[in-house]
Amino acid sequence: MSLNKILLIGNLGSDPEIRSMPSGKKATQFSLATNRRYKVEGEIRVDTEWFRIVAYGRLAEICGDFLKKGKSVFIEGRMHTRNWIDTAGQKHYRTEVICENMRMFGAKTNGDGHEPHESDNEPF
């Protein structure tokens, strides 16, 4: 038995980049930062870990439409390492998180990426 599952909560380090693959399917990628806070001799320290997130299909479109740099999100997915050889013959490796589920945190935005002011909200 094996399991390849990763759960992350963090903030986008970049706006999603959306593109179309040769098949016509959409793909998007963005960076995600997670922070770990801890104390050493009474001093609070923070370690930041960066992840490259990739989403495909309808989820890629949703990420491209609603996520912006700084937005807090929950990402559920799997780790994937791909490799390629560049034109100089050098082999490269990249480890990514393939996003299978995404949840946004925080206030809703008003379409321009900014959170609405209390006066912008209509009463029910």
Which is nearest to 101 in space by CA: 3, 9, 2? 9
Statement: residue 16 has pLDDT above 90: yes
Distance CA 97, CA 45 (A): 26
Q: Say what the pTM is.
A: 0.78
Grade residue 33 by pLDDT with cuts at 50, 70 and 90: very high
Average pLDDT, the chain: 88
Q: Look at residue 84 and give its three-state secondary structure.
A: strand
pLDDT number for residue 8: 97
Class of domain 1-80: mainly beta
Distances, alpha carbon 58 to alpha carbons 5, 6, 26, 28, 65, in Å: 21, 20, 7, 10, 11
Q: Would you say residue 117 has pLDDT above 50?
A: no
Domain boundaries, the chain: 1-80
Mean pLDDT to the nearest integer, 77-86: 95
